[in-house]
Structure 1
Amino acid sequence: MDAVARSCVAQRTVTVLENVAIARDTFRLRLEDPEMARSIVPGQFVMVRPGPGTDPLLGRPFALYDVARDASGAALGFDVVFLVIGRGTAALAGRRPGDRVVVWGPLGHGFGPPPGRSAVFVAGGIGQTPFLALGRWWLGRASYGAGLFPSDSPAGPFATSATLLYGVRTAALAAGVEDFERAGIAVELATDDGSAGHRGFVTDLLARRLDRGERPAKVVGCGPPAMLAALS
């Protein structure tokens, strides 16, 4: 698997298809790159630079949000979601359809096979981004990898359910909730200010489930270090 991962990593300049705000200071960027879209799998990420120049010199790492497909189901590009927090992401937020950006990837390792029972994703801040594609795969609603890391290879039964526990500072920062719901992934929110869902830590939502006797087959977390420490 590692050899395959290294062999398909490439850097190229690609075209922006869409760039839309989906929450406060949060954008979904769709890039035209059929080769990347055919090879990337849930859990991997790409480096994205706003243009072919040298400012900023370094790309920004973004997890695969999902693969974009045409009416026939053929992969035509991929989506990433990002929060504007600095010069690089501010430049990306200003990109329009037809603009060109530099991508490098796919990088990292994909997630393991479906758990066969229920799955719970725990996300804080912008940490929900890897879980849309993962949830769609684990629920049997999409496949990824086109033979490189084939997510549709025999790996036991698909998940019976998937739930996203999603914590943000305030409701205006909750990004992509409708995308998850359309994919059949239940969403429970926690906000610091109580503007939506549970007021408090997102890990409280998981603790409640465990206290009720629920035992998901797999719990996967992505978010700030303090949240991940609480999960461990």
Structure 2
Amino acid sequence: MSDPNTADCDSNLHASYYADGMQQVETELVENEQIAQSTYRLRVAAPTIAARAVPGQFVMIRLAGVNAPLIGRALAIYDIVNNDQGDPTWVDLVYLQKGAFTTPCSQSPVGTPVSLWGPLGNGFDPRPCDRLIMAVGGIGQTPMLLLGREANGAQAFGRPNGWAKDVELIYGARNEGLLAGVDDFRQAGFDVQLCTDDGSAGQQALVPAILEQRLQEIGDTASVRVVTCGPEIMMEKVAECCQKHHVDCQVSMETPMACGIGICFSCVAKVKQADGNWDYKRTCVEGPIFDAGKIDWS
């Protein structure tokens, strides 16, 4: 039987983004540290997942042996860390402490057993461009570190890399304390622009306004590409801005997921079809990455 992860498996029965190739791992927390206000980064040893993942994919994770919550929580893959031999070994996830999984997880010490399965979802397309702009808000920075590193050629994931000349991050939050991982993005060589609702860091502005300003400054946007993740209203405004300037834009939808593998249909998004109508698509399998112009935001 052919590998369901290969492109020639894109059929009605086995599309490359289906969960056929996921791995389930029983492991434990190697690190679990606070990196911003109510925001934590955990690390687990999961080499079979780390070796398969591409930027934009996610995993489902739950505390092993805990029945509340019973189902896993979908978290974007934030980073993949190699061992001394250069082999992908550890998976980093960043999460906001606010619910039935993330609150006990934030209180769990190193060595706590966890279950995770993935990688899941379709991931971002490695579309060549001169300038990649990552426009994110809230906790939406989490899928962008790997994408930016792939774009500038610093990291490879078994597909083309080094496909952008410049990488920018526009990152917004309510206040300075909620900005998480900023140093990681700067150390990766990205141009980082911050904005906050209260002006405590960067400009006192919203992400779509900063993006509009940048696109006007650039002028010729023919080889600019935008990717976005964060609150839905922010992504909608980013999509409108990109449409106005004729800029290629992909969105990473943060629709809440239950199963993560396309069984329950709880995470559907309205996506426009070629005939102009829309249909429901599962964020966990047909997404979470969609072309911004195909999302019906109503």
Do both proteins adopt the same fold according to a TM-score greater than 0.5, normalized to the shorter chain?
yes
Show the counterpart of 1:147.
none
Of the three residues 115, 118, 129, the one matched with 1:105 is 118
Q: 1:4 to 1:110 in 2, by over 3 A?
A: closer
Q: Distance in 2 between matches of 1:77 and 1:52?
A: 22
* 1:167 matches 2:172: yes
Q: Distance in 1 between matches of 2:175 and 2:47?
A: 36
Q: Distance in 1 between matches of 2:54 and 2:74?
A: 15
* 1:140 matches 2:149: no
- 3-state SS of the aligned residue for 1:160? strand
Contact kept in structure 1, 2:129 and 2:224, CA below 8 Å? yes
Q: Structure 2 regions of 5+ residues with no counterpart? A: 1-6, 8-14, 240-298
Q: Give 1:229 shift.
A: 1.1
Q: 1:141 to 1:5 in 2, by over 3 A?
A: farther
Q: Distance in 2 between matches of 1:209 and 1:27?
A: 30
Q: Structure 1 regions of 5+ residues with no counterpart? A: 145-149
* 1:77 matches 2:84: no
RMSD: 1.6
Contact kept in structure 2, 1:13 and 1:52, CA below 8 Å? no
* 1:44 matches 2:57: yes
- 3-state SS of the aligned residue for 1:127? coil
Q: Give 1:5 shift.
A: 4.8
Q: 1:68 to 1:50 in 2, by over 3 A?
A: same
* 1:202 matches 2:207: yes
Contact kept in structure 1, 2:81 and 2:91, CA below 8 Å? yes
Q: Distance in 1 between matches of 2:190 and 2:35?
A: 18
The residue type paired with residue 176 of structure 1 is: G
Of the three residues 47, 54, 67, the one matched with 2:67 is 54
Q: Distance in 2 between matches of 1:169 and 1:3?
A: 37
Once the two structures are superposed, residues 11-35 of structure 1 have per-residue CA deviations (whole angstroms, 9 ceiling, x without a partner) of 2321211111110110111111111
The residue type paired with residue 148 of structure 2 is: G
The residue type paired with residue 45 of structure 2 is: E
TM (norm. structure 1) is: 0.91
Alignment: residue pair count:
224
Q: 1:27 to 1:203 in 2, by over 3 A?
A: same
Show the counterpart of 2:159.
151
Mapping 1:153-232, distance limit 5 Å: 158-212=163-217, 213=219, 215=221, 217-232=224-239
Q: Give 1:84 shift.
A: 0.5
Once the two structures are superposed, residues 84-134 of structure 1 have per-residue CA deviations (whole angstroms, 9 ceiling, x without a partner) of 111210111122221111112111002111423110000010000000000
* 1:13 matches 2:39: no
TM (norm. structure 2) is: 0.72
Q: Distance in 1 between matches of 2:66 and 2:38?
A: 24
Mapping 1:122-133, distance limit 5 Å: 122-133=135-146
- 3-state SS of the aligned residue for 1:22? strand
Q: Which has the higher contact order (CA 8 A, sep 6+)?
A: 1
Greater radius of gyration (CA): 2
Ranges of 4+ aligned residues in structure 1 off by more than 4 Å: none
